[in-house]
């Protein structure tokens, strides 16, 4: 029998170095974000949402990626999902639904027309 295939001897660890520890920065961030009933994390989330409402593309992208997942970039995956594409009518219905939110409507209007004077119909 191959000695490499034997189970560990009694009292011998299969991972003598133990679990690898997170880098210090990660541990400090986790501690800061979870103390005081996660008030810091909530404040950061509120600021991120505020930035997104004011048109920050990076904030919008981060929120979308965290809540919906990153979009697939593989062309093969895109071809497989081509049957899941929306029709023109479905897209229009979804836009109408999204633009029902006054905050989003204002943000989109400003982004499209560079002023709050015109409105999206």
- Of the two residues 105 and 30, the one the predictor is more confident about is 30
- Mean pLDDT in the chain? 77
User: Would you state the structure tokens that stand for residue 112, as one six-digit string?
Assistant: 């499209």
For 40-68, what is each residue's pLDDT tens digit? 889 999 999 999 999 999 999 888 888 88
Q: Output the pTM of the full model.
A: 0.41
Query: In sequence order, what DSSP letters do the residues of 70-121 get, joined into one string?
Result: PPP--HHHHHHTGGGPPPHHHHHHHHHHHTTSHHHHHHHHHHHHSSSSS---
Residue reference for tokens 């919906």: 68
Q: Is 62 exposed, middle or buried (0-12, 13-18, 19+ CB in 10 A)?
A: middle
| Confidence band for 3, pLDDT divided at 50, 70 and 90 | low
């Amino acid at each position: 029998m191959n000695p490499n295939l034997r189970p560990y001897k009694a009292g011998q660890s299969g991972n003598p170095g133990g679990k690898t520890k997170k880098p210090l920065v990660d541990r400090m961030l986790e501690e800061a974000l979870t103390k005081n009933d996660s008030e810091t994390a909530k404040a950061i989330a509120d600021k991120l949402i505020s930035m997104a409402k004011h048109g920050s593309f990076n904030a919008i992208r981060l929120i979308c990626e965290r809540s919906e997942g990153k979009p697939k970039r593989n062309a093969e995956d895109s071809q497989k999902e081509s049957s899941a594409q929306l029709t023109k009518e479905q897209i229009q219905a979804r836009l109408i639904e999204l633009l029902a939110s006054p905050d989003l409507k204002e943000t989109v209007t400003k982004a499209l027309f560079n002023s709050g004077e015109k409105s999206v119909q």
